[in-house]
Structure 1
């Protein structure tokens, strides 16, 4: 049985006249008659009575009509869904993000994408860079927003944006009074850094920034998320160097000052599996620039 047979059957069931049904289908009558005979042979039941009075559905044909219409409707729904998935209009996107992206327009980005892709389910989870890399490798995420482009060969990335690092100090700290902070002034301060395990690359970058300016940070505490680092600074447990986005976090007790020296910026990258489907990812990334 072919879908063509079902379409021909439904046309004839609707018109109850071979000529009108053939015209509706834009075919001649002989192919229609052959198709109906083939369908009846396949079904194993007579679907139409034909005599001098015209064409009528048999009881079997009346029952088959409803089922045939349902089959065609489901087939069209399946085709429509497949087209929507291919076009990136339907599906699920599992997105990981580092905390700083919350203060760099992630919510606006998500809202804009959801408005243009209402049938796409977006699942977001905050993870540090290393946990996102592990989740991407384990196919638990489709896309990650991370602080590093040093990735395993099975992952690809593209830069999204960069921002300066700033000094993060407890409110009332003597170094918070000037308009900017020299890195060397932090050399004797207890440091709070992003966890080496959570983001080895980022941890190493902060240490290297300090080393280039004549000292190694006195590591006092580590946090697995940047907001934890800023919160510990706010509690007076030490100082840190953090991405500038956290100035917008609104954490009381923490103040931020520009660094006097020019240092490499903090960068955020989109990362994904090289063998993963591309449409939803590309459309989500395009939504940010759009």
Structure 2
């Protein structure tokens, strides 16, 4: 399929006008119409509904627009990376990150990448663990930072960081509570948890930890992002089991309680394809884990 036809289609789909798209592309309208018809013929579907008054996307046209944009973005990114390499630079390093590793694994890996490739451009993509595993396999990112354990065919992993959990509560809900505390002390509280779809390991850790403490959590809300959870905590919607390093965010109106329970830690691993590019090989060759993280200092 001709890349030019993709660019022509995207222009028409975004402008919803052949005349405006032609001006945008600096071509005349007849060849533009011809290229779109040829594209529809190749695909065997109608992408656009045309009338004298308007142009509209069909259902298949909307699907194709999304995919065409993604393809063109990758082509443009490849061209930029190639030109940078020709100028003596390096291609972009694409790193997937989980929000719960913002203060731990993410700075560890990005600092390492900057030392190995000082002229590289580092692009961070915030995704859940499951999304990252899929993105690494599809080569949409070069390396991911995901919640351990990782046991996926065709992927290698290395544990980078581990840290304890703490309980986050609103300042109002924290008044009068002793610290540190056992998890059972929060048995009657509504809980806010990580989305199981996005962070299955963290969701499961909450359920298992509470059951080990002798109760089942009253899970009132789930969220994709740890900072969404903390905002709900701040609004006194419930309590949350979160990584201790969130203390570094310094969010007002939240109290953090160290726990006396022996529960699973928050573990984050780097993950990459079993047959990586030379860039990734160099990146992970001497990637040393930082398992002894400084205490995040949970406080009441």
State the TM-score, normalizing by the size of structure 1: 0.64
Residue matched to 2:34: none
Report the CA distance between 1:217 and its aligned residue.
0.8
Match in the other structure for 2:264: 264
Shift of residue 152, structure 1, vs aligned partner: 2.0
Report how far residue 225 of structure 1 moved.
Answer: 1.2
Question: Residues 67-216 of structure 1 correspond to what in structure 2 (within 5 A)?
Answer: 90-104=90-104, 106-107=106-107, 109-111=109-111, 113-114=113-114, 116-174=116-174, 177-216=177-216
The residue number in structure 2 matching 1:239 is 239
- 1:36-59 Cα offsets, whole Å, 9 max, x none, are xxxxxxxxxxxxxxxxxxxxxxxx
- Residues 179 and 144 of structure 1: CA distance in aligned 2, closer, same or farther (over 3 Å): same
Q: Deviations over 1:183-236 (max 9, x none)?
A: 111111110000011012221121011111111110100010112112211111
CA distance in structure 2 between the aligned counterparts of 1:285 and 1:266, rounded to whole angstroms = 24
Does the Cα contact within 8 Å between 2:163 and 2:244 map onto a contact in 1? yes
Q: Residues 205 and 264 of structure 2 are in contact (CA less than 8 Å); yes or no, is this contact kept in structure 1?
A: no
1:120 to partner: Cα distance: 2.0
In the aligned structure 2, how far is the partner of 1:196 from the partner of 1:289?
26
TM-score by length of 2: 0.62
**In structure 2, what is the Cα distance between the partners aligned to 1:280 and 1:253?**
41
Confirm or deny: 8 A CA contact 1:95 1:125 kept in the other structure: yes
In structure 2, list runs of 5 or more residues that go unmatched.
1-81, 291-300
- Return closer, same or farther for 1:139/1:280 CA change in 2, 3 Å cut-off: closer
Give the 3 Å change call, closer, same or farther, for CA 159–287 of structure 1 in structure 2: closer
Name the CA distance, whole Å, in 2 between partners of 1:157 and 1:108.
15
State the distance in 1 between where 2:102 and 2:110 align. 10
In 1, Cα distance between equivalents of 2:204 and 2:283: 33
Larger Rg: 1
Partners of 1:284 and 1:150 in 2: CA distance:
16
CA distance in 2 between partners of 1:248 and 1:204 (Å): 24
1:112–1:268 Cα change, 3 Å: closer
2:149 and 2:199 map into 1 onto residues whose CA distance is: 11
Q: Supply the distance in 2 between the matched residues of 1:282 and 1:178 (Cα, whole angstroms).
A: 48
Matched residues, number: 206
Separation in 2, partners of 1:247, 1:127: 22
